[in-house]
Amino acid sequence: MVKLASARESRMYGPRLARNRAEYMNAGLYVFATIVLIGGFVAQLSNEPKSGLALLLIALLLIVVVNLHDLVAHLAGIDYRLPLMGFDTQLALVEFAVPVVQALGTSLSFLGILFLFIQEYKGSYGHFKLERHALNLLIAGPALWVLGSIHNSCQIYERANGHVQILQQSVHIPFLMGSLLFLVASILNIREQAGWNHHGLNLLGKTWVWIGIFGSLMFFIGGLTNVVKVFKMQQIDGVRLEKLRGGAQERLIGERDGHAPLILEEERRRKRIAEETRAAALPAQTPYKDVLVGQP
């Protein structure tokens, strides 16, 4: 449901201490948002379901903030130089696209809940189109969560440490399962409401609430594993993290230092091997002094 701390070494925005603090705050804020999300669904089963909608709105708003933080962090990691995405397709399709998709999906879910909250608050159910839009938004939002979660789980690692990859997948899987649960809940809910003349909070059936509780629990588990991952990644050496491919990392560091882009390690190695091969193929030359001594 959310793109959290990346396993990329490019996520190097700001001083190390400030960056670590921001990562912990980002992870902690998401865990808090999932707790509020669970509370919002549980409140739907109480005598004050309207308060549950307010909690859901707060939780979704916090999740949007977390996604925007990740988007800014990834862009700041490359000094907001979008052309660098041409050297690493995954940077554009995962680090950049996933936070955007997840933030958009969360915003659509936020609007769907907000429409129902406004209808319930006003107490007038004359705007049937608004309610129908709200139910459609509650499907579109989780659909984007699923798309982003699948996309996020398809990251390709070439140099990252295996431990880092395991930690990354331990976060992706709960988010994917939770997103699927929310999508199924919204689809089942709109099918349940077909043929019934329900309005306001009655449009959110018990099936949607209970599946939403389990989906929120999966997000909570994913948030906890993300806290563990952030802690572990702060303790390991940066060399064990994934680098930007295509020389983008070296180009970025070179531009930050004010130098020309560095030659790729593979290119340097190939050039060195070619020079050694060419030197070995040349015939051994006789020194000029030896030629003079050898004359009769």
What pLDDT score does 230 carry? 85
219: its two tokens: 């997000």
Q: What is the pLDDT of residues 249-291, one digit of tens each?
A: 777 777 666 654 444 455 556 666 767 676 666 555 555 444 4
Q: What is the pLDDT of residues 63-76, one digit of tens each?
A: 999 999 888 888 88
Domain boundaries, the chain: 16-243, 250-282
What pLDDT score does 271 carry? 66
pLDDT by residue for the chain (296 residues), tens only, comes to 566 666 777 766 777 788 888 888 989 999 999 999 999 999 988 888 888 899 999 999 999 999 998 888 888 878 788 888 888 888 888 888 899 999 999 999 999 999 888 877 776 555 567 778 888 899 999 999 999 988 887 777 777 777 778 888 888 899 999 999 999 999 998 888 766 665 667 778 889 999 999 999 999 999 999 998 888 887 776 557 777 777 777 777 776 666 544 444 555 566 667 676 766 665 555 554 444 455 55
Comparing C-alpha atoms, which of 214, 88, 109, 209 is closest to residue 159? Answer: 88
